[in-house]
Amino acid sequence: MTKTFVVAEMALREIARRRGVLAILLIFPLAFYLSRRDSHAGQSIRFVCLGIGWAMSTAALFAGSAARAVEPRLRLSGYRGSHLYLGRLAALWTVGLLLSAPYYVLIRIDQEHVRYGAIGLIMLLTVAVAAPFGLALSAALPRELEGMLVLLIVVGLQMMMDPADSASRLLPFWFSREIGTYAVDHTDGGYLTRGLIHAAVCLAALLAVVAAASGYRLRQRSHLRFVARR
């Protein structure tokens, strides 16, 4: 636990020192929100959640890429792969919650006749899914540019695809549209249930990918044997 906590603390310190990135992360979802605020309030809520997801995935992608150089030596220093990715996830989730909080307050002030609890839930789930999504991308695509392009494609598809299309359920943030509909259009609980199930499945799958990738990359190779000191 101490090791995971120290990794989380150091990851938070690293993120906190990237002030320019933090500022962009904070403003980025606002652009999404304002882009649809005048024409369709409900869409602006869905868009701001997507913006948070994109921003957090990007932050996780870069955090994961930056960690690649130091993680092998940390593994040799006594950390397990799980200490490293859980610590990093904890830091990213913390940043995500702090990033989402002002947008939740904004919606509380700026929007009426919506289910605020459900909107809070979307933000929570978006942050939960976005962090492992970015880390999974950084594990699969070591070069940041490639990871960014994939993120761009995913978020672009998320905006363009019809949520009723079954293929769109393969996208990691599909649940935000579904729960968003429940929150904004006051639909029945089926939307909420489907959204929750989708988020849970995505979260579990992405965590499994992150754990497997970390386990593989930082595995103890079979040729190396540690023998107790004589």
Does 3 help bind other proteins (rule: CB under 8 A)? yes
Q: Which two tokens stand for residue 122?
A: 């979307």
Element (H, E) at 87: helix 81-110
Per CB under 8 A, which of residues 11..30 are in contact with other proteins?
A: 13-14, 17-18
Is residue 223 within the footprint of other proteins (CB under 8 A)?
Answer: yes
Identify whether the C-beta of residue 36 lies closer than 8 Å to the C-beta of residue 43: yes
* Residue 160 is a binding residue for other proteins (CB under 8 A): no
Q: How far is the CB of 8 from other proteins (least distance, A)?
A: 11
Select the span of 7-15, 24-32, 130-138, 198-206 touching other proteins (CB under 8 A): 7-15
72 to 111: interface string for other proteins, x by CB under 8 A: xxx-xxxx---x----------------------------
Q: Quick one: which segment of 9-17, 27-35, 54-62, 170-178 binds other proteins (CB under 8 A)?
A: 9-17
CA distance 64 to 218: 14
Q: Nearer Cβ to other proteins, position 22 or 196?
A: 22
Contact 15, 67 (CB under 8 A): no
Furthest C-alpha separation in the chain: 74
**225 near other proteins, judged by CB under 8 A:** yes
Give yes or no for residue 220 binding other proteins (CB under 8 A): yes
Residue 154 tokens, joined = 């995913």
Asked if residues 85 and 135 have their Cβ atoms less than 8 Å apart, the reply is yes
